Amino acid sequence: MIHKLLIANRGEIAVRIIRTCREMGIKTVAVYSTADKGGVHTRMADESVCIGPPPSKDSYLSQHNLIAAALKTRCGAVHPGAGFLAENAGFARAVRREGLTFIGPSPEVIELLGDKVSARATAVTFGLQVTPGTQDAVSDMDGARDAIRRIGFPVIIKAAAGGGGKGMRIMRREADVEENIRIARSEALANFGDERVFIERYIEKPRHVELQILADGAGTVAALGERDCSVQKNHQKLIEESPSPGVTDAMRERMTTGAVTMFRELGYCGAGTIEFLVEGSEWYFMEVNARVQVEHPVSEFVSGIDIIRQQILACTENRLETGGAAGHGVPLSGWAIECRINALAPGRIVKLEVPGGVGVRFDTCLAEGCFVPPHYDAMVGKLIVHAPDRGQALAKMERALSELVIEGIPTNLKRQEYIIKEKTFRSGNFDTSYYGSIEKEAEHVR
């Protein structure tokens, strides 16, 4: 077992990793930009190191500064967290080159799965269905038009190296092809340093469903059930739940079988998520996130498994503690829901009251007196609940949201309360277009 680990991230996910490391007897080193000086994660860790000024490119995305901090503090491993360099194969390779353990899959697997074009091709080889689209990145406009005629409108352009809605354009008519591909390429280059894009059929109103996977790199793969992430604004998730109200047992069985086979054959190591678009009883492979996901707590609640702990054990000792169960064998129980709490502006927290009770958890980087900077992701916390069924989970979330108090900055707390009470969401009959249909009402609630 390693004795000290550097967390190459910030905020809530850094706090989350520190807590598990404490339980495992692993010392932690937090890193921070000057904007995060005195942040909760820096106070909780055993040591903290400043890695640069506020811009991410000069701090949390600086591979040199991160690795130098790990070596200076004599760490044995680096945990990339979620976001920033978590799926950067070059960073994983650089960490390993210095003799440190990277808490994640191999650089080769990250490269394969991080490129959406190669990931689609890989999924097909393992029997996973993909939406009709181009096999390779679009190389010229004539080829793009030919592909679109074959696929049929509407189509969506996606960045081969991207995510989070960047480099993504929906097209419904041929007259828009050239302009949209140009814009998508420009966004892809600006955000990911790679202008390649591909085209696939656009599914108008799918559910967004993902499977949580753990693998030890030695053939053991455990699936911890699916999460429904369909409540989104501009492709950014707002609410996640497990299981999905739109997935049947038969669908779950087929999705899980293909996913487990894929991760096992790739020799995947650590935590990962395979994402699908679900349309009725059909489901299509979308992508793999080769890291721990922000929404992992809902899977922890229904499985009773600490995903961060298993991720560390898999990558340092090539083993999992899932009771010897692999594939479909991990028993799941109850229903879990997570609401992401986002800051709508920077500022200082003057009051924080956190809800409690059985099956209630609040993962956050907030504390009274701390400053929320404007430079990074808006998410400042995640409220998660667990109950025997969806009805009870909804009631618990409604109660927990009413108890959560954050003063000093504006947040989306009231918007989340609106969604949890809204009749269509409560029915379970919704898709990725849902938030757009209630956005006006949700964002004007006070």
Which residues are marked as active site?
291
DSSP letters of 333-372? -SEEEEEEEEBSS-EE--EEE---STTEEEEES--TT-EE
The answer to whether the CB of 368 falls within 8 A of the CB of 352 is yes
The tally of CA atoms less than 13 A away on the side-chain side of residue 227 is 32
Residue 35, helix vs strand vs coil: helix
Four-residue CA torsion sign, 388, 389, 390, 395:
negative
Q: How far apart are CA 313 and CA 317, in angstroms?
A: 5
Q: How many CB atoms sit inside 10 A of residue 176's CB? A: 14
**E strands in 144-206:** 155-159, 169-171, 197-201
Q: CA-CA-CA-CA torsion for 158, 162, 163, 166, nearest 10 degrees?
A: -70
Q: What are the backbone dihedrals phi and psi of residue 148, each rounded to the nearest 5 degrees, phi first?
A: -65, -40
Four-residue CA torsion sign, 277, 283, 284, 290:
positive
